[in-house]
Chain A
Amino acid sequence: MVEFLNFTLEGLSAGMIYAAIGLSLVLIWRGTRVLNYAQGAMAMFTSYLALLVINATGNYWLGFAVALASGLVIGAVVERVVIRQVTGKPPLNAVIVSIGLLIGIEGLAGLLFGSNNRSFPPAYSINGLSIGSVALGITWNDVFTAVAVLAAAGVFAVVFRYTTVGLRLRATAFSPAVARLLGVRVGRMLTLGWALAGLLGALAGMLVTPSTFLSPNSMDVIFVLGFTAAVIGGLESPAGAVAGGLILGVVLSYAGGYLNSQVVNLFGLAALLLVLMLRPNGLFSSAPARRV
């Protein structure tokens, strides 16, 4: 029973990361109809920048701030400089370009920072918590992860729901042409959407890297699992992405805990294919809408 509880907690904690990546993908997808395959690589890069700052100053939170700020900037720059070139062209071009970004950023990171694994400091203690004499499978850092992701998701929800900027962002995602007619600076909104997604990705990178080590392709697996989370949620729905991330995290945690840690990725693949085949619009879609 305790084992089951622990696997569930571990799963939820890992799922928070997938949720954050999934959420950032949904942000971009809703705005630009581009699936940003470089999201994980961008998060890896910002984590490297954070590590540089942390090593130089010894201050974790300064590094944290640098990671989030650079995520914001990188997201905006990528949208302006690269993605803008392929909007309005066939979707395949954007797919290939963003894969190019993924590889390019990984190569650049390898060039600048070397390709060996680096350990990465956690924000809080990574010693297991316990209630009385019962050891729990989570740590203060996991708690921080959950709080940070939920807080970020909450802030985003409030911004999107109740602020003018949020309304503009939603209008741009819903119908760029109409939004433009109504005076929304659509281009800016797209850039802003990418910047916010970059920030979320950077947050996910900061949270996950202590448990994976940092290397140029350390985020590959995290990214595909975040993608899976977003697909489970339907790619359109931020809440769905968070739910999808948590579901995926728990399922993978059971698979890894009860079966074998090697099969986790295969289970992720199976989960992705199952969802895509059975509910291509996500688990939470109500009416299937056909997009032509």
Chain B
Amino acid sequence: MTTTPPEPDQTSSPDQPSRAVPLVTKPSPPAAAPPAAAPPQSGRFRVPTLARHLGVAVLAAVVLAIATTMIGDYRDYELAEIAAFVVAVAGLTVLIGLSGQISIGNGAFMAVGGYAAALLFVHLQWPLAAILLAATAAAALAGAIFGVAAARLRGPYLAGATLMLAVALPALSTQFQSVLGGDQGLGFYISVPGFLGINFSLSRWQAWFNCAVALLVLILLANLTRSRVGRNWRALRDDEVAASLAGLNVARLQIVAFIVSAACAGAGGVLLAVWIGTVSTSLFALGVSIQLLTAAVLGGLGSLVGAIWGSALLVIVPTFLANFATSHGMTQTTSSSVPILAYGVVLIAVMVGFPGGIQGALVRFFNLRRRRPADYHQEEKGST
């Protein structure tokens, strides 16, 4: 399947010697040794998956915490936006790249999360973390409902149904204007918690909060994709009939994938709402769903690291492009079309030219044996 980044060397069987990987970094264990008999003394030490993920996350958290104090308010603000998108894009890339389903309506689930958060803020004044959990649960519930319907749909049908979802759902906010605020949306105000002191900037607090959530979500997803569930997803992505013959419950796996993706989108929606301080229909219009798709495709479908690349570019490049266009004599309304055109070109060019996206290209370029989720099971299969 092309939705996976190209991984020619890893699909080969373990005894095939054609791996273009330096043996120093990852020597293969003796072919005869059973997995239990390949402890560290065989020259190969593998940090437990969870510990490795946590280690990387802690390192990233430290780097980010230091960085936020140095890059200034505006960059903090941008970082918070990137983190919000990382959460939503990571969910989508798992859905498309691992379970083989597609959604062009994840903006709708972001809207569910965002609006739920706004309502909880306005009416109940819950603490931020509790709101995040509750709103994510609400989005997951919406994903479950839609997922049950979607599990019967394939490729183009599913894409069409989710597209319809993205187009139709904003009408709810005008339908229930008194609760959801119609076109104006709902505004709310968050403040820096007291223990950080009064000189702590709001942008930095937003960056901290959003990055913390993003790291947490990435850890959870990284573990999930390497679990039995993740392997089953890949199995059904590659061949649904074979997967179901092997005893997998295809419909349930697809619904679970949809729920995970909707929950991530919902959490991303909460972060985006907190970041802006308001929710409105225009914030979660069809364009957002397309942005998520573009970021996931650009980063490399199925790759969590790719989700980070994609989200970062998604936030940084459009502003840059629009500014560039404005400074070259275009009007504001015209220059806002430049990023949209760019999304389209990127989607086509990546799918035609580099189906692996940025992460796939990086891996191929450096020929690194990165342990991307998509490869991991094959790698493990290879070493046993």
B277 near A: Cβ within 8 Å?
no
Which of A29, A107, A266, A292 is B343 in contact with, Cβ under 8 Å? A107
What's the least CB distance linking B329 to chain A, in Å? 13
Interface residues of B in 45-104 (CB under 8 A from A): 96, 100, 102, 104
With the chains together, A111 CA to B1 CA distance in Å? Answer: 35
Q: How far is B145's CA from A273's CA once the two chains are assembled, in angstroms? A: 11
Q: Are B149 and A277 in contact (CB under 8 A)?
A: yes
Min CB gap A34→B, angstroms = 8
The answer to whether A107 touches B334, judged by C-beta atoms less than 8 angstroms apart, is: no
Q: With an 8 A cutoff between CB atoms, is A85 at the interface?
A: yes
Q: List A contacts of B333 (CB < 8 A).
A: 110, 114-116
When distances are taken between beta carbons in the complex, the residues of chain A under 8 Å from B167 are 220-221, 224, 265, 269
Contact A276 B161, beta carbon cutoff 8 Å: yes
In this assembly, does B174 line the interface, its C-beta being within 8 Å of a C-beta of chain A? yes
> With A103-B344, A111-B337, A114-B334 in contact, do A96 and B286 touch (Cβ < 8 Å)?
no
Residues of B with C-beta under 8 A to A101: 344, 348
Beta-carbon contact of B337 and A103 below 8 Å: no
Q: A220 CA to B160 CA in the complex, in Å?
A: 12
Counting CB contacts under 8 A, is A206 at the interface?
no
Is A107 a contact of B352 with CB atoms below 8 Å? no
- Which residues of the other chain, A, contact B179 by a CB distance below 8 angstroms? none
Q: Complex: how many Å from CA A220 to CA B334?
A: 19
> Does residue A127 face the partner (Cβ distance < 8 Å to B)?
no
B348 close to A93 (CB less than 8 A): no
Query: Are B157 and A263 in contact, CB atoms less than 8 angstroms apart?
Result: no
Are the CB atoms of A110 and B340 closer together than 8 Å?
A: yes
Give A23 Cβ to nearest chain B Cβ, in Å: 16
Q: Which residue of B lies closest to A35 (CB)?
A: B156
A97: which B residues are within 8 A, CB to CB? 347-348, 351-352
Asked, given contacts A100-B346, A220-B167, A228-B164, whether A92 binds B102 with beta carbons under 8 Å apart, the answer is yes
- State in angstroms the CA–CA spacing of A235 and B7 once bound together: 35
Question: Is B299 an interface residue, CB under 8 A from the partner?
Answer: no
Residue in A99, A220, A268, A269 whose CB lies within 8 Å of B293: A99
Least Cβ–Cβ distance between B374 and chain A, in angstroms:
15
List residues of A (2-56) whose CB comes within 8 Å of B's CBs.
Answer: 29, 34-35, 37
What bracket does the count of chain B residues touching chain A fall in? 35 or more
Those of A78-130 within 8 Å (CB) of chain B: 82, 85-86, 89-93, 95-97, 99-111, 114-116
Q: Which of B157, B297, B342 contacts A231 (CB 8 A)?
A: B157
A166 an interface residue at 8 Å Cβ cutoff? no
> Which residue on A lies nearest to B349, using beta carbons?
A100
Chain B binding surface SS class? helix
Across the interface, which residues of A come within 8 angstroms of B305, CB to CB? none
**A276 with B168: in contact, given A93-B2, A220-B286 (CB under 8 Å)?**
no
Separation of A227 and B161 alpha carbons in the complex (Å): 9
Tell me if A262 is interfacial: C-beta within 8 Å of chain B: yes
Interface 1/0 per residue, B300-339 and A, CB below 8 Å: 0000000000000000000000000000000101101111
CB contact under 8 A between A110 and B334, given known A99-B159, A268-B164: yes
Question: Contact: B149 with A273, CB < 8 Å?
Answer: yes
The answer to whether B3 and A92 touch across the interface, beta carbons within 8 angstroms, is yes
Q: How far is the CB of A234 from chain B (nearest CB, A)?
A: 11
CB-CB under 8 A from B165, the residues of chain A are 269
- A276 with B347, Cβ < 8 A, contacts A92-B100, A95-B102, A110-B340 known: no
B168-184 residues with Cβ-Cβ distance < 8 A to A are 168-169, 171-172, 174-175
A103 to B348, CA, bound (A): 10
Our pick among B1, B172, B334 for the contact of A115 (Cβ within 8 Å) is B334
> Which residues from B are CB-within-8-Å of A82?
348, 352
If A90-B3, A114-B333 touch, whether A266 touches B168 (CB-CB below 8 Å) is: yes
Q: Are A263 and B351 in touch, CB under 8 angstroms? A: no
Cβ-based interface call for A216 (8 A): yes
Give, as a whole number of angstroms, the nearest-CB distance from A154 to chain B.
Answer: 27
A14 to B: closest C-beta gap in Å = 16
CB-defined contacts of B340 to chain A, threshold 8 Å: 103, 106-107, 110, 216
Report whether A266 and B337 are in contact in the complex, using a CB–CB cutoff of 8 Å.
Answer: no
CA distance A277 to B157 in the complex (A): 11
| Chain A, residue nearest B1 (CB) | A90
Q: Does B345 contact A (CB under 8 A)?
A: yes
* Contact residue among B168, B290, B344, B352 (Cβ-Cβ distance under 8 Å from A105): B344
Give the chain B neighbours of A266 by CB distance below 8 A. 168-169, 171-172, 175
Query: 8 closest A-B pairs (Cβ-Cβ)?
Result: A104-B344, A110-B337, A100-B347, A107-B341, A107-B340, A35-B156, A103-B344, A265-B168
Where the two chains meet, the residues of B that have a C-beta atom closer than 8 Å to any C-beta of A are: 1-3, 96, 100, 102, 104, 149, 152-157, 159-161, 163-165, 167-169, 171-172, 174-175, 241, 286, 290, 293-294, 297, 331, 333-334, 336-348, 351-352, 355
18 A-B residue contacts at CB 8 Å? A35-B160, A92-B155, A93-B3, A96-B102, A99-B293, A100-B343, A103-B290, A103-B294, A104-B345, A106-B340, A110-B333, A114-B333, A115-B337, A221-B167, A224-B167, A265-B167, A265-B168, A269-B165
Given contacts A92-B102, A228-B164, 6 further A-B contacts (CB under 8 A): A35-B159, A95-B156, A100-B351, A216-B340, A263-B171, A276-B149
